[in-house]
Chains A and B, each alone.
Chain A
């Protein structure tokens, strides 16, 4: 420390003031201003080009194309206004798709997130071997949706004993459970898909909760415990309120994630049987892309976009106060 001070003393006052003057001069220099502008433009250019071409522009194009009847090949000249949207909302499978998205969102928020929170509390703090469990619980998140779908198609296949095992386990846990084929039964297919979604994604939310728990100082809960609070009271009045920011974030990610789910559902059921697992994305792919109705498909995309946007804006206004919630997907 003293050596450092001596060092500065050694540096002559003259050079120091000259350096300062140099910096100030640079700030006023016109050529510096030009250089700075150039730097800004050059540095922003690659990101801006990519982003405006492949993210922003397609959204506007989708909105434009959604007002046409178009198969993607002939010239884009059959303007039909809002007819695509009217057709869509009158189409029963579309309304079912909307409903299924809603069900998946509700189940994710009310079942998957509490499970993740519970497991975060179980392995979260002071459990020897925690890194191992965290790594195992998070593993499905890095396995692709495609592979997950193949794995679970096998597990749920009614011809195989794995499906019987699930049936008998559930039969013994839930008294009114009726065993049967999972992916082939319209009344069960959404539950089956939800099981897979939970398997794959609860680890993400759990990891977020664990990170949130680590930010809560031990002293707070210890103090509550000394004051005579029961474990449940500590959880209810101390831990969960202090996790509220993380919970708000996970709900946000969960809702947007549920809206965008495509791979798993398409590979496992293609939205079937009889539209029983159709969601907006599979509906868009089937009725927009596979059947060459790009105008119609674009209008489904617009609905999906508006849903995401409206939800994000309202949710962020209400709960997030100018915080962005990190990455989606």
Chain B
């Protein structure tokens, strides 16, 4: 008899608790939604703007297009230079990711697993790269690349961008390699393997998550790089996407809807990539920065 009443009473308490929790969530949702709108709206203006005439974009930037015009996006997609820049950016990005990942993981393996004199000093020298951005070295880099005949060459961008990725990558990979049990390495040697076989067939496959994280960060860095290509790329045939965007921006300030179509298509690969690799990008940044 009494239990029923007790249960009702308990449910009441639970309900009020739950509704209080929901009430406390409302202001948080309002803030989160307002901020989301602030972040999304410039991007939305661009996406919709690409479907409008310039006149409509300028008068009514936030509205849904009265008539969906495909001409702006079509124009960009027919533009040979756009595809060429996309290709150049992809080549530089892929090259940077491969070169920096391989050389950084080889070095990180030595720093994590081998003892030799001067190891810590050398490691600290590599960490100097964390202290300054590519900007600081950019003029001498330009001179150096001119001496090495790397001006106007995609390989030049790959080499330099890889070099500037090394410090961060070695730092993250070294701590990851250290966390793997020592016995794995002993087992490889017992089975007659050497350092190369251990590195290639044990360490690398086990490190896929750490490598993916590093690769994702290197991709974002390389894909968005503007200053370096701006200095060393003279021939428009070698322009990367950011450089092409900058040039297009200078040319088409009168035709905003076409410009919007260009930047939307230019940001599309990065945004799609981000949607797929968000976990890796964020874990890379937080893992590297918070845990040291």
Contact = CB atoms under 8 A, between A and B. Distances in A.
Interface of A: 19, 22-23, 26, 35-37, 39-40, 43-44, 46-48, 50-51, 53-59, 61-62, 65, 72, 119, 122-123, 127-129, 133-140, 142-147, 149-155, 159-162, 199, 203-204, 207-208, 210-212, 215, 245-246, 249-250, 253, 256, 259-260, 262-263, 267, 281, 284-285, 288-289, 294, 297-298, 301, 304-305, 308-309, 312, 323-329
A328 B259 CA distance: 31
Contact of B107 (A44, A263, A305): A44
B194 A327 contact: no
17 contacts: A43-B199, A50-B163, A51-B163, A55-B128, A119-B32, A136-B40, A147-B245, A147-B263, A149-B249, A150-B263, A151-B263, A161-B58, A208-B286, A260-B135, A281-B135, A294-B143, A328-B133
A142 B220 contact: yes
Contact of A138 (B31, B267, B278, B290): B278
A308 B159 CA distance: 24
B131 A308 contact: yes
Given A147-B245, A208-B289, A262-B135, A119 B35 contact: yes
Given A44-B110, A289-B139, A35 B166 contact: no
Contacts of A204: 285
* Most interface-central of B25, B49, B125, B133 (chain A CB within 10 A): B133
A19 B172 CA distance: 34
Contacts of A133: 32, 36
Nearest to B106: A43
Contacts of B167: 51, 55
B1 interface: no
Interface in B252-270: 256, 259-260, 263, 266-267, 270
Interface of B: 25, 28-29, 31-32, 35-36, 38-40, 42-43, 45-46, 49, 58-62, 99, 102-104, 106-107, 109-110, 114, 116, 122, 125-144, 159-160, 162-164, 166-168, 170-172, 186, 189-190, 194-196, 199, 217, 220-221, 223-224, 226-227, 231, 241-242, 245-246, 249, 256, 259-260, 263, 266-267, 270-271, 273-275, 278, 281-282, 284-290, 292
A123 B288 CA distance: 22
Contacts of A62: 136-137, 139-140
Contacts of B139: 62, 65, 284, 288-289, 294, 297-298, 301
A198 to B, nearest CB: 10
B143 to A, nearest CB: 7
Contacts of A160: 58, 61
B130 A127 contact: no
B256 A154 contact: yes
Contacts of A136: 36, 39-40
Given A154-B256, A326-B285, A137 B224 contact: no
Contact of A256 (B49, B133, B226, B281): B133
* Most interface-central of A44, A160, A259 (chain B CB within 10 A): A44
A301 B290 contact: no
A195 to B, nearest CB: 10
Given A47-B107, A58-B141, A137-B36, A151 B46 contact: yes
A124 to B, nearest CB: 10
B221 A137 contact: no
A119 to B, nearest CB: 6
A289 B35 CA distance: 39
A309 B133 CA distance: 11
Given A48-B107, A136-B39, A140-B39, A267 B140 contact: no
Contacts of A57: 140, 144
* Most interface-central of A129, A210, A211 (chain B CB within 10 A): A211
A133 B30 CA distance: 12
A144 B163 contact: no
A51 B288 contact: no
B144 A301 contact: no
